[in-house]
C-alpha cells in the first residue's frame, strides 16, 4: 500500500482530497492512495463528494477504537470520529447546495420594485 502527498493540491485530485480531509502528515496516515482514488472514481472525480466519502470512512475507522486514559495521558478516538462525521456532513451539505469551495459566493442580484405585487 502506498501513501503520498506532494503538497500541491492545485494540480492533483488525490492531494486535494488529502488536503481537504487533513490527511497530509506522513507520520499519521489515515487513508492509502488507492482508497482515495477509489473514492474519486466512485464519485465521478468530484473532489468534494470524494472527500465526504473519505471522511465517512475515517469516521467509521475511529468508531472502532476506544477512548482510554493511562495516568495523565488520554486518547479520545470518539472526538476524532465526531470531527470527521461533522466534516463529512459539511462537505455533503455544501455540495448539495451547489456552493463552490474555491470561489466566493456571489451576492444575490437586487430587483427594482421588490415589494410591489405586480
| Model confidence pLDDT, tens digit, residues 72-88 | 988 888 999 999 999 99
* pLDDT at 107 (0 to 100): 44
**Residue 89 within any structural domain of the chain:** yes
- Predicted TM-score (pTM) of the model is 0.75
**How many Å apart are CA 115 and CA 117, to the nearest integer?**
7
Q: Could you tell me if residue 3 is inside a domain? A: no
Query: What pLDDT does residue 68 have?
Result: 85
Q: Is residue 52 part of a domain?
A: yes
87 within a domain of the structure (yes/no): yes
Boundaries of domain holding 29: 13-96
Q: Judge whether 61 and 34 are in contact, CB under 8 Å.
A: no
Min mean pLDDT across 77-81, 91-95, 108-112, 114-118 is at 108-112
**All three cell numbers of 18:** 488529502
Domain contains 105: no
Whether the predicted pLDDT of 62 surpasses 60: yes
**Residue 108 domain-assigned (yes or no):** no
Domains in the chain: how many in total?
A: 1
Amino acid at each position: 500500500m502506498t501513501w503520498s502527498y506532494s503538497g500541491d493540491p492545485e494540480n492533483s485530485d488525490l492531494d486535494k482530497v488529502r488536503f481537504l480531509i487533513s490527511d497530509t502528515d506522513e507520520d499519521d496516515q489515515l487513508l492509502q492512495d488507492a482508497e482515495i482514488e477509489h473514492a474519486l472514481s466512485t464519485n465521478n472525480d468530484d473532489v468534494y463528494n470524494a472527500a465526504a466519502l473519505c471522511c465517512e470512512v475515517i469516521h467509521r475507522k475511529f468508531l472502532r477504537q476506544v477512548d482510554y486514559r493511562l495516568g495523565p495521558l488520554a486518547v479520545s478516538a470518539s472526538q476524532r470520529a465526531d470531527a470527521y462525521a461533522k466534516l463529512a456532513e459539511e462537505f455533503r451539505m455544501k455540495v448539495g447546495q451547489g456552493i463552490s469551495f474555491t470561489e466566493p459566493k456571489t451576492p444575490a442580484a437586487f430587483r427594482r420594485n421588490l415589494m410591489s405585487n405586480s
